[in-house]
Amino acid sequence: MANLTIQLGRDVTLSNPVMAASGTFGYGDEVPDLVDVNQLGGLVTKSLTLRPNEGHAPPRIVETPAGLLNAIGLANIGVEAFCAGKLPFLETLQTQVFVSIAGATVGEYVDILTAIERSGNKIAGYEINISCPNVDEGGMEFGVSASITETLTAKLRQLTGRFIMIKLSPNVTHIDAIAKAAESGGADGISAINTVVGLDMDPLTGQRSLSNLIGGLSGPAIRPIALAAVHSIAGAVSLPVIGMGGISSAEDIIRFVRAGATAVQIGTANYRDPAVGVNLLARLEQLMEQMQIETLEEIRGVIH
């Protein structure tokens, strides 16, 4: 019998390896009718900024071959409204909740995390977004520099005992170096990848597809890129890697585990089917039986 439980860190156990990725599942309260959120292994909230953020002007999404390009611009309610309006609901969930935070400065990251630490006591931890390709907050300036990554991680480490995962950008020359910096700074896990920098326009009119011009590419198109990144990170650090990028089938989950991931996140595929994470679990168990393994740990990092 397949056992899907994942020990993510000392204090964090997931009922299964599948989490909803930041920015693709709101604050978990958007889809109660369509899906039982509690059946997910975990849930990462939309990235929070210090102040409410309306995001970029429309248009902010466009479909590309097997991909989705977006420049939402971290539209979110801000940490204050989150603590007052969303956290109470999130704390009633059985699933492990990770709050994603995004600052424009190290100080902002500190302030956001501090505010949540003060109000919340049942969340599992944080995902630190230093890899959003289309804004200043949570921006890639952080995610492309190993030294800033280490400094930021170390700062946040002092503020909480909860699980901290640093979410990395694929838009760098050596993602393994950034992962190592996060490890040195005291991170508990690395999540990867955020979206890949991309651009599109209407060819005939020249109209930009995103008001922000530049956006982030997600979806099946980036799966091989994400697998290479996860493989590189898993080889560089001894922290658990939470892999994502284009996952849309149980086979894809296995691919990320084989590349070295301990758990996975699903993003864009939720837009096709908000229940996809939960639906893939049955199929995942089936595949595990076919492979004659009881835990995913048995194939983690195993490529022949």
Partner 1 sequence: MGLYRLVLRVGDMAALARPGQFVNVLTGAGWDPLLRRPMSIAGIDGRELQLLYKVVGNGTAAMSRWQSGDEIDLLGPLGNGWDAAADGFPVLLGGGAGIAPVYYLHKELLRSSTAHHLIMGSRSTEEHFLQHDPHSGISLSTDDGSAGVAGTVLDALHDLMEAALIPRSGLSLYGCGPPGMMRALADFAGQHEMDCQLALEEIMACGIGLCQGCNVAMRLPGNTPEHSYHQRYRLSCIDGPVFKAKELVTWQI
Ligand X SMILES: Cc1cc2nc3c(=O)[nH]c(=O)nc-3n(C[C@H](O)[C@H](O)[C@H](O)COP(=O)(O)O)c2cc1C
Active site positions, annotated: 132
Alpha-carbon distance of 260 to 229, in angstroms, equals: 10
Window contacting ligand X (CB under 6 A); options: 26-34, 67-75, 157-165, 287-295: 67-75
Window contacting ligand X (CB under 6 A); options: 2-10, 32-40, 151-159, 218-226: 218-226
State yes or no: residue 67 binds a copy of itself (CB under 8 A).
yes
Exactly one of 243, 246, 260, 274 binds ligand X (CB under 6 A); which one? 246
State yes or no: residue 34 binds partner 1 (CB under 8 A).
yes
State yes or no: residue 68 binds ligand X (CB under 6 A).
yes
C-alpha Rg value of the chain to the nearest Å: 18
Exactly one of 2, 4, 159, 197 binds a copy of itself (CB under 8 A); which one? 197
Alpha-carbon distance of 22 to 193, in angstroms, equals: 11
State yes or no: residue 207 binds a copy of itself (CB under 8 A).
yes
Give Cβ neighbours of residue 158 (< 8 Å, ≥ 6 apart).
Answer: none
Exactly one of 12, 20, 69, 187 binds a copy of itself (CB under 8 A); which one? 69
Residue that has been written with the tokens 């956290």 in this structure? 87
Alpha-carbon distance of 242 to 166, in angstroms, equals: 10
Exactly one of 160, 287, 295, 297 binds a copy of itself (CB under 8 A); which one? 287
Burial class (CB in 10 A: 0-12, 13-18, 19+), 1: exposed
Residues 214-243, interacting with partner 1 (CB under 8 A) = 219-220
Alpha-carbon distance of 79 to 50, in angstroms, equals: 5
Q: CB-wise, 31 or 172, nearer to partner 1?
A: 31
- Between vectors from CA 34 to CA 32 and to CA 37, what angle results, nearest 5°? 50
Interface residues with ligand X (CB under 6 A) are 21-24, 46-47, 68, 70, 72, 74, 100, 129, 132, 167, 194-195, 218-219, 222, 244-247, 266-269
